[in-house]
């Protein structure tokens, strides 16, 4: 299990994290999983989606996760994607309720793709370590 996750992290060209917020912080399960690896993340970008039932969309968790990704060598893109009042946006069965999110997420994903391409092109020239 750990080896297959390692391979996935190693082979990925970027990391899109989706985190809830617990007691103003990121999920312990997310942190624990991220902490298992290190070199696998190097010189690849990350992007952060956070959610909560409240009105702030898990922004505290997102800010903490930004620090963690910076330490792991996978810096986060400028934009993040908080989803407040999650129950009004996505239904229990995963159906999108709020169609406005389609447009919002397209812009966010386009920015992430730009960084993925930029990092990939630069990695092709080698990395400092």
Ligand X SMILES: Cc1cc2nc3c(=O)[nH]c(=O)nc-3n(C[C@H](O)[C@H](O)[C@H](O)COP(=O)(O)O)c2cc1C
Site residues for ligand X per CB under 6 A: 20-24, 52-54, 56, 58
**At closest approach, how far in Å is the CB of 86 from ligand X?**
6
Residue 53 or residue 67: which is nearer to ligand X going by CB? 53
Q: Indicate the helix (H) or strand (E) that contains 47.
A: strand 46-51
Q: Cα 66 from chain centroid?
A: 9
**At closest approach, how far in Å is the CB of 54 from ligand X?**
4
Residue 11 or residue 92: which is nearer to ligand X going by CB? 92
**At closest approach, how far in Å is the CB of 99 from ligand X?**
22
Residue 49 or residue 72: which is nearer to ligand X going by CB? 49
The tokens 């750990």 sit on which residue? 2
The radius of gyration of the chain from alpha carbons, rounded to an integer in Å, stands at: 15
Between CA 86 and CA 117 the distance in angstroms is 30
């Amino acid at each position: 299990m750990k080896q297959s996750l390692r391979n996935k992290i190693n082979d990925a060209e970027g990391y899109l994290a989706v985190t809830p917020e617990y007691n103003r912080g990121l999920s312990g399960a997310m942190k624990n999983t991220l902490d298992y690896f290190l070199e696998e993340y190097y010189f690849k970008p990350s992007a952060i989606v956070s959610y909560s039932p409240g009105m702030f969309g898990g922004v505290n968790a997102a800010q903490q996760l930004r620090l963690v990704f910076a330490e792991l060598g996978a810096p986060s893109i400028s934009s993040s994607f908080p989803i407040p009042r999650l129950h009004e946006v996505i239904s229990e069965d995963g159906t999108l309720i709020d169609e406005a999110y389609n447009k919002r997420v397209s812009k966010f994903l386009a920015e992430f793709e730009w960084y993925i391409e930029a990092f990939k092109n630069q990695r092709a020239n080698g990395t400092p370590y």
